[in-house]
Chains A and B, each alone.
Chain A
C-alpha cells in the first residue's frame, strides 16, 4: 500500500488554551519519494534530457539521479554516473505509465484542494 501523503508541520499557533496545528501535505514531494528507485527521464529548461534512476528528492524537488545516460549526446556535458539537478530548472519528469497510480494522485490532489479551501 503506497503511502502517498506525508504531512509535515508548517505552522503552530498557541491560542490561549488551544494549540492550533496547521499541517500541509507536500503532494509532489511525497509522490516523488514513492518513485525512488524507478527510472525516469528529466527534461530541463535548457532542453537537456537526462535518463536515470531516481535516487532521492527533497522538499524543493531537487532531484538526484544515479546511473545516468543521456538521451541527446549532442548537448551533453561529460559527467560520471550520478548528478544532482536543482528543482527550479526541471521542465518535465517523464515516468513510465505503470509506475504512476493516477487515481491515487487525483484523489490526493482533490483532498489537498479541499483542505486548502477550508
Chain B
C-alpha cells in the first residue's frame, strides 16, 4: 500500500515493482514471482509465479503463471536475493513427493490438534478459537 502521494520514508511497494519477490499468504502458502502491479490495498499482480511448498528441509515448485492476489491475504512480502537464490540450504524435490510430504505433515498436525482438544475438554476448557475476525483486514 502506498500513500496517496509518494512521500519519502513511507513504506511503499512501488519500489518492489519488477523485482522477484516472495509473498507469504495468510493461509500459509508461499508464492514467488515478479511483481508487476500494486495498489493502495496491497493487491498484487505477480508474473511467472511459482507456488513453493516447504516441508521440513525439502521444497517443491508448482508453476502457476499470472496471479492476482487480494491485499487482505498478504502476510508478508520480501525481495528474493537473486545471487543466493541457488544456494538454499534446502533440497528440491519433485511435485508429487512434496505434495505427499505435505499431506503427511498436515495429517500429523491434525492428529496432534485433536489430542490437544481432547485434553482441553477433559479439563473443562474450550479449545481456543482461531483468529477472530480482524477489524482491519
Contacts and interface: CB of A to CB of B under 8 A. Distances in A.
A85 B76 contact: yes
Interface residues of B, number: 34
A84 B13 contact: yes
A46 to B, nearest CB: 6
B136 A45 contact: no
A36 interface: yes
Nearest to A79: B78
Interface stretch (B23-31, B97-105, B106-114, B120-128): B23-31
B42 A86 contact: yes
Given A77-B30, A82-B79, A89-B76, A58 B1 contact: yes
Interface residues of A, number: 30
Contact of B136 (A64, A78, A80, A88): A88
B71 A58 contact: no
A56 B30 contact: no
Interface of B: 1-3, 9-13, 16, 22, 24, 26, 28, 30, 42, 52, 54, 71-72, 74-81, 84, 88, 90, 131, 134, 136-137
